[in-house]
Structure 1
Amino acid sequence: MSLFVALLGGVIGGITWMLLDIMNLGIDLIWAYIPVHIDFIFYPLVICAFGGLVIGLYTKRFGPYPHEMSEIMVEVKAGNKVPYDNLPVVAVAALLPLVFGGSIGPEAGLTGVIVGLCFWFSDRFKFIFAEVEELAQIGMAATIGVIFGSPLFAFVNQIEDEKKPTVIPKNTKILMYFVGIMGGFGALNLLSGIFGGGMGLGRFPAIENVAGGEWLAAIPLALIGVAFGMLYYVFQRLIKVAVSPLKRYTVLKAIIGGIILGGAGMLLPYTMFAGEHQMTMVMDSWESMGFAVLLLTGILKLFIGNICAQMGWRGGNIFPTIFSGVVIGYACALMLPIDPIFCVAVVTAALTATVMRKPMAVILLLLICFPINGIIPMTIGAVIGGAIPLPKWRKLETE
């Protein structure tokens, strides 16, 4: 069983690398190669509107894919089977919004593909292993670990709210999680090392100065992060209500979403795309960007992410949320005489934990980009962000 799970993890890593590579090729073609040969000021607006047309027509033909990662996790943990007869359809649906500049992450689409693949495996090997019914959960953990480059985050994210009894004994299943995650992680790193590609968040330098000023600012900074996390939910609610009259107009809705995305991208380019590559650029230029641009970029990123989700540009929200926390944290750093990395760590952890509701998983995820001496400020932010309750109307929606 361990060997089987390790091989499955390797297959997951290879497929994830392939899909991410296709995504990067598409982005380079549309957003790097073609603009060099076409000098047109409204290029983002036109391309995003065209992307909305393509996404709308594709959705109308095949249905609303991909499903959100949280929806897939609920289905898998409830013991429901995810269909696998339409995996190419899900893969294309996942790539289209990303290639056309959507402010979303790839985790939703890739998770849908991999979980479907795991159910395909389970149906064909159940005569050998009784435990393969739980391959989907192991495969989901491996996919998340591969996408975010964080095996520990994938592990904790998968088991943090796992309460249902499992066929595999608990200790054995923990081992299977690690075997599958490391198999996928190893395959992706091997392929990325040979051929390039993959994803990954930028790496912040070490926090150089932690004194009384930093600790005094920690809780207020965490509350700032929480406030912007709550703003995410406000945007989500308002946009959902505003878009409800367009529910039947799948193509029109996607085109309008593309126009809003492209218009925002013309004003503030970092509001487009998932945000992992843009985060590295912000690290190098945040001081010259200024407070207003940083703050506006962070707020608009939260808004555009919800626009994409509600307008049919479906995908994940983890990468864009982290990016928003980073730019808002840098905006705060411009106004406070404290270490900027400390500032960014607290705000990012608080905002991300407010949205994800999993403090421990957030800390482990952010450790891939923040230095080890940032673990205490991140813990302060994540614990406060995860502890403050959601708005009452949001709780009613999730129940």
Structure 2
Amino acid sequence: MTLFVAVLGGTIGGITWALLFIMNLGINFLWTDVRNAVDLTLYPVIICACGGLLIGLWEQRFGPYPREMAEILKDVKKGDQIPYNNLHIIGISALLPLIFGGSLGPEAGLTGVIVGLCFWFSDRFKYIISETDELPQIGMAATIGVIFGAPLFAFVQQIEDENKPAAIPKNLKMLMYFVGIISGYGVLTILQNLFGGRLGLGHFPAIEKISGTEWAAAIPLALVGVGAGMLYYLFMKMTKAAVKPLAQKILTRCILGGVILGGVGIFLPYTMFSGEHEMVEVMNSWPSMGFAMLLLTGIVKLLMGNICHEMGWRGGNIFPTIFSGVSIGYACALLLPVDPIFCVAVVTAALTATVMRKPLAVILLLLICFPINGIIPMTIGAVIGGAIPVPKWIAVAENQENGLIQQHQ
């Protein structure tokens, strides 16, 4: 079983690298090579509109994919089967919005492809290992760990609230989680070092000072992050209402979404793409960007993620949310006499926890980019963010969307 899980984890690492490599090739071609050759001011609008056309045609043919990572995780924990006869469709559905500049993360599409693959493994190898029903959950943990480069985050994401009876002892299953995660992450790292295609958040330096001023600002900074998280939900409600008349006009809303994305991207370029590479650029240039630009970029990024999703540009929300927290945190650092990394750590943790609803998982995720002496500020932000209840209408809207997707499966 251990050997089988190690092989499965390595396969997951290889597939993740391949999809990320293709994504980076497409982004570099469209947004570096071609853009430098044509040099048009309206280039983002034209390319994003063309991307919207392709995404709309693809959705008309195959349905609204990929699904959100949280939805897939919930189904896997319930023991529901994830179809694996359309993995190529999910893969292309995930790559198109990312390559054409969508303000989305890659985790949704990658999770859909790889968890479907795990169910395929489970069905094909039952004659070898009787515990194959556990493979999708183990594969889910490996997938999350590989995508985010955070094994502990993946482990907590998978075991949290796990009430489904296991076919193998709990301690052994935890070992399988780590075997799958480490195997997948190891293969991904080797392939990235050999061929490139790296995906990852930037690394912040250590917090230089944590004095009484920082501690006094911690709760207000956390409330700023929570406020940004509430804006995320407000934007979700607004975009759902605005796009409702276009629900059946797939091509129209996908192309319109591309036009809006590209138009905003001309003035606020960091609102495009998933945000991990853009975060590094903000880390290096935030003092010169100014308070208004940083705050506006962080808030509009939250809006654009919802616009993309509702217009048919589907993907994850974790990387864009982290970027928004970083941008808003740096904006606060320009106003307050507080260590800038402290500001960013608290605001980002609070915003991400408000959106993800899992404080411990958020802390472990953010440790891949924040210093170890930022763990207490992040804990303050994450606990406060996770304690704020989600608006009631969010659950209703999510259930309606899940039903729509299941009709296409």
Q: TM-score, normalised by structure 2?
A: 0.96
Q: CA deviation at 1:398?
A: 5.3
Give the Cα–Cα distance (whole angstroms) in 2 for the partners of residues 359 and 318 of structure 1.
13
| Aligned counterparts of 1:395 and 1:126: Cα–Cα separation in 2 | 36
Deviation, 1:266, is 0.4
CA distance in 2, matches of 1:206, 1:248: 50
How many Å apart are 1:71 and its aligned residue?
Answer: 1.4
After TM superposition, list the pairs within 5 Å mapping 1:1-399 onto structure 2. Answer: 1-397=1-397
Q: Distance in 2 between matches of 1:165 and 1:228?
A: 38
How many equivalent pairs are there? Answer: 399
How much does 1:56 deviate? 0.2
Helix, strand or coil at the partner of 1:166: coil
CA distance in 1 between counterparts of 2:189 and 2:161 reads: 29
Identity fraction in percent: 70
- Counterpart amino acid of residue 383 in structure 2: V
Deviates more, 1:305-314 or 1:168-177: 168-177
* C-alpha deviation, 1:161, in angstroms: 2.2
**SS of residue in 2 equivalent to 1:130:** coil
* Residue range with higher mean Cα deviation, 319-328 or 169-178: 169-178
Please state how far the C-alpha of 1:75 moved relative to its aligned partner: 1.6
In structure 2, how many angstroms separate the alpha carbons of the residues matched to 1:67 and 1:120? 18
Amino acid at match of 2:97: P
Using the TM superposition, name which of 57-66 and 70-79 deviates more.
70-79
Displacement, 1:76? 1.3
How much does 1:90 deviate? 0.9
Letter in 2 for 1:113: V
Q: Deviations over 1:240-265 (max 9, x none)?
A: 01111111011111011101100110
| Residue 199 of structure 1, CA deviation | 0.6
* 2-structure distance, mates of 1:92, 1:395: 28
1:392 deviates by 3.0
Residue type of the alignment partner of 1:45: V
Between the aligned partners of 2:209 and 2:266, the Cα distance in structure 1 is 37
Q: Which moved more, 1:17-26 or 1:383-392?
A: 383-392
1:305 counterpart SS class = helix
Instruction: Give the deviation of 1:78 after TM superposition.
Output: 1.6
**How far off is 1:309 after superposition?**
0.7
Q: Distance in 2 between matches of 1:292 and 1:351?
A: 19
* Alpha carbons 2:298, 2:325 under 8 Å: kept: yes
| Deviations 1:9-43, CA, capped at 9 Å, x for gaps | 00000010010000000000000000111011100
CA positional deviation for 1:396: 4.5
Shift of 1:395: 4.6
Stretch moving more, 337-346 or 62-71 = 62-71
Q: What displacement does 1:198 show?
A: 2.3
Measure, in 2, the Cα distance between the counterparts of 1:217 and 1:249: 47
Deviations 1:355-387 (A, max 9, x none): 000000000000000000000000000000001
SS at match of 2:131: helix
> What is the letter of the counterpart of residue 247 of structure 1?
A
Q: For residues 396 and 113 of structure 1, do their structure 2 counterparts lie closer, same or farther at Cα, with a shift above 3 Å needed? A: closer
**What amino acid is aligned across from residue 303 of structure 1 in structure 2?**
L
Deviation at 1:394, TM superposition (A): 2.5
CA distance in structure 2 between the aligned counterparts of 1:124 and 1:394, rounded to whole angstroms: 38
- CA displacement at 1:81 relative to structure 2: 1.0
Kept after mapping to 1: 8 A contact 2:17/2:191: yes
C-alpha contact (below 8 Å) 2:10/2:183 kept by paired residues: yes
Moved more, 283-292 or 388-397: 388-397
Q: What amino acid does structure 2 have at the position aligned with 1:42?
A: L
For 2:10 and 2:395, the matched residues in 1 are separated by 38
Deviations 1:19-70 (A, max 9, x none): 0000000000000000111011100001001100000001101111111111
Opposite residue 60 of structure 2, the aligned amino acid is K
1:397 positional shift: 4.1
Equivalent residue letter for 1:91: G
CA-CA distance at 1:159 after TM superposition: 1.1
SS at 1:126's partner residue?
coil
**Cα shift at 1:292:** 0.3
Partner Cα separation in structure 1 for residue 111 and residue 396 of structure 2 = 26
- The alignment's C-alpha RMSD in Å is 0.9
Cα distance in structure 2, aligned partners of 1:90 and 1:394: 25
The letter of the residue matching 2:75 is E
One-letter code aligned to 1:335? L
Q: 1: CA distance between counterparts of 2:231 and 2:168?
A: 41
TM-score computed with the length of structure 1 as normaliser: 0.99
Counterparts of 2:229 and 2:241, CA distance in 1:
19
Instruction: Tell me whether 162-171 or 44-53 shows the greater mean CA deviation.
Output: 162-171
Q: Confirm or deny: 8 A CA contact 2:49 2:259 kept in the other structure.
A: yes
Query: In 2, distance between residues paired with 1:334 and 1:119?
Result: 49
Report which stretch shifted further, 189-198 or 226-235: 189-198
Q: Cα offset for 1:137?
A: 1.0
Q: Distance in 1 between matches of 2:85 and 2:393?
A: 37
Distance apart, 1:393 and its partner CA: 2.5
What is the letter of the counterpart of residue 291 of structure 2?
Answer: F
Q: Does the Cα contact within 8 Å between 2:79 and 2:164 map onto a contact in 1?
A: no
